[in-house]
Amino acid sequence: MDLGVWTANHTGRPLTGLKLDANFPGDRMVTKTDWMLPDRNGKLPDLPAGQAAFGRIPTAIGLDYPVENATFSVWLSDGQAEYPWYERCWLTVAPRVTATGGRVTDWSKVQPAWLYHTFSWGRFGRAFPQVVSGAENLKYAFRVDGRAAVRTGYDGRNLYVSIEVEDDNAVFTGAPEKRDRFELKFDRDLAGDFGSASARPDLNLLVLPESSGPCQVKGVEGAAAVLTRRSAGGYTVEVSVPLGAITLRPAAAGGAIGFDLVWTDADPETGGVASSAMRWAGGSRTLGQLFFGR
């Protein structure tokens, strides 16, 4: 799999003889990622003024497991000027699965992506990019609150998403803005939407969990969700979404769509409800990416 670097030429002049390098020049202080970028030299065609293209750098990433919050630094040079670039990479993989009655029969071999948070009394340079708002409402002492394992898979009809939540006090009633909820975001044309539209999803799917059984689903025709597990420590929601609604091309190994997940965790507080929001592809200027696996 390649690391794609979308490049638009706004210089007003042609860019020729371009050099794309994940460690250029050699004395840069960058995180060692040799295991992921065995060859740091990329390829990028000449760019006329006002045009855009994808450059590519080979990686060792496969279609086996998610890659989350990986920051890549890349430099582009045309012999006259140097253009630095960095971005957080959020990638999850949906392997082929077997489903019966709209539910996956076995999730045990699917590697999860994660929503989580950590705290320290001093920052010490640490960042928590998945927390969008309400961090003060997430519990971290004596109990676990606000963590989720997100697994995805697909067959010939649907994309399936399992969200296994650790939540010490779920709220399943009330207005949507006052209860637990999930917003799944999809970009059907991932490569074609890079640029100013790269952060805007084509589809938003809202899932409102219920205390048991089918959940409320809004935004994508034919989508469904069901709460499959409930305990004192959390719950699991499984969502099915028709592939025809979220991808322009038949799903096949190596294909990709834009994907993101925002979880709003509501907790009862004296006199009302306190909420926090977490985003899977936190800190990214685009959506995350979901690759169809084998």
Ordered per-residue pLDDT tens for the chain, 294 residues:
888 888 889 999 999 999 888 764 454 444 555 667 777 788 899 999 999 998 998 888 888 889 998 878 788 888 888 888 878 889 999 999 999 988 999 999 999 999 987 665 555 545 578 989 888 787 666 566 788 999 999 999 999 999 999 988 899 999 999 999 999 999 998 777 766 666 789 999 999 999 999 999 999 999 999 999 998 889 999 999 999 999 999 999 999 999 999 999 998 887 789 899 999 999 888 899 999 999
Residues 84 and 100 in one domain: no
Last residue of a domain, one of 56, 89, 122: 89
CATH code, 276 = 2.60.40.1190
Q: Rounded to the nearest 5°, which phi and psi values hold at 205?
A: -115, 120
Residues 51 and 65 in one domain: yes
Question: How many Å separate Cα 293 from the centre of its chain?
Answer: 16
Residues 69 and 202 in one domain: no
- The total of structural domains in the chain comes to 2
Last residue of a domain, one of 60, 89, 118: 89
Half-sphere exposure of 76 (CA within 13 A, CB side): 23
Question: How many Å separate Cα 266 from the centre of its chain?
Answer: 22
Residues 282 and 202 in one domain: yes
Q: Where in the sequence is the domain holding 18, given as residue range(s)?
A: 2-89
CB of 205 closer than 8 Å to CB of 184: yes
Residues 109 and 239 in one domain: yes
For the chain, the average pLDDT equals: 87
Q: Which of 174, 147, 150 is nearest to 239 (CA)?
A: 150
Residues 119 and 55 in one domain: no
What is the structure's pLDDT at 195?
A: 64
Q: Any idea how long the chain is?
A: 294
Cis upstream peptide for 25 (omega within 30°): yes
Last residue of a domain, one of 32, 55, 89: 89
What is the structure's pLDDT at 88?
A: 84
Residues 60 and 2: their CA atoms lie apart, in Å, by 8
Residues 259 and 96: their CA atoms lie apart, in Å, by 17
